[in-house]
Amino acid sequence: MTRSSDILDIIAARKSAGEPFALATVVRTVAATAAKAGAKAVILPNGTISEGWIGGGCARAAVLKAAKDSLTDGKSRLVSVAPEDALEDHGIKAGEEHGGVRFARNMCPSQGTMDIFVEPVLPRPNVVICGSSPVAVAIADLAKRVGFVVTVCAPAAEQTAFADADRRIEGYALPVDDAAARYVVVSTQGRGDEAGLLAALAVDVAYVAFIGSRKKAEALKAALAERGVPAERLARLKAPAGLDLGAITPDEIAISVLAEIVAVRRANMRERAVASA
C-alpha cells in the first residue's frame, strides 16, 4: 500500500507534468470498512488506479465511474457507498443522486458505509498567442490572471513585449501535441499573419482565432487556401475573434476574446459530459 507521504509526492509530480488524473479521497466511514478516512487513490483517464488504495471491489466500480465522469466534465463528485438496507431506510436506490451525492450499493460482507470525494486534476488550459500586438499583450496578461497557461509565439525581437509567460516559442512553430486544451489567438498586426495562421491551423486545437477585420481575414483565408490549407481547417478559424461586445481598446478586445474562449471551453466540457452519460 502506498504511504500517504508517497502518494502526495506522486500527485505533485503528476500535476507538475501536466498529466490528467482524478484523486479519490475517503472522507467518512461508518462501521467496518476496508479503507479508512484519509485514504487516497490516483485514478487515470483509462480507469485504472495507478497509486493508492480506497478499499476493495465494494467501492471500486462506483468510484471509477465517478472519476471518469469528473475527468470528462471537470466537476467533482461525492460518492456514498452503503449497504442496501441503509439505502432503503433513506428511500434511496443505488445509482441515484440526491443533494449532490451519488449513491452506490455496498455488496461486501463488511456492510459498512464509505463516502468518497472524487476530484478531477486536469492540466491548466493553454492560451497560445501568436504575435506581439497590443491586443496580444493584453490577452496574455488577462489569460494568466484567469488561470490559463500562457504560451507566447513571436520572433525573438518581439518577445520582450511580454513581461511574463509560462512558455515562449521563437517564431510560430507550435508543438503538434499537448496534454492540455489549447486556444490559439493570432494577433501580429500584419507582421506574421500568414505564418501564425499556418502554424495554428496545422495542429489540432480547441479554438483558433484571428485578430483583425473580416475583410483582412477573408483575404488571408484565400491566400492560405492557395497554399494548400484544407477547407475544413480554414472553416475552424474564428474571425473576427471574440464575442461581440462592441470592444474598441486592446484591453476590451482581450476581454471579448477571453470571454469567447471560456464559453468555448465550457461548452466543450458540457458536450463531453452529455456524450459520456
- 143-193 tens-digit pLDDT: 999 999 999 999 999 999 999 999 999 999 998 878 788 999 999 999 999
The CATH code of the domain that includes 247 is: 3.40.50.720
Residue 231 predicted with pLDDT over 90: yes
On whether both 158 and 263 belong to a single domain, the answer is: yes
Question: Which residue, among 214, 204, 194, has the nearest Cα to 130 in the 3D structure?
Answer: 194
Distance CA 120, CA 124 (A): 12
On whether both 155 and 55 belong to a single domain, the answer is: no
Q: Which H helix or E strand runs over 217?
A: helix 214-226
Distance CA 154, CA 160 (A): 10
- The reported pLDDT for the residue numbered 276 is 66
| 28 backbone dihedrals φ, ψ, rounded to 5° | -160, 140
Q: What percent of the chain has pLDDT over 90?
A: 61
Mean predicted confidence (pLDDT) in 45-51: 90
Distance CA 197, CA 217 (A): 10
On whether both 156 and 219 belong to a single domain, the answer is: yes
Residue 3 predicted with pLDDT over 70: no
Mean predicted confidence (pLDDT) in 62-83: 91
Residue 111 predicted with pLDDT over 80: no
Distance CA 25, CA 5 (A): 14
- The reported pLDDT for the residue numbered 17 is 83
Residue 259 predicted with pLDDT over 70: yes
On whether both 255 and 131 belong to a single domain, the answer is: yes
Range of the domain at 199: 126-276
Mean predicted confidence (pLDDT) in 206-216: 94
On whether both 172 and 222 belong to a single domain, the answer is: yes
Residue 200 predicted with pLDDT over 70: yes
Distance CA 77, CA 79 (A): 6
| Domain count for the chain | 2
Handedness of CA 158, 159, 163, 166 (dihedral sign): positive
Distance CA 42, CA 40 (A): 7
pLDDT category at 36 given cuts 50, 70, 90 is confident
On whether both 71 and 140 belong to a single domain, the answer is: no
On whether both 109 and 137 belong to a single domain, the answer is: no
Residue 195 predicted with pLDDT over 80: yes
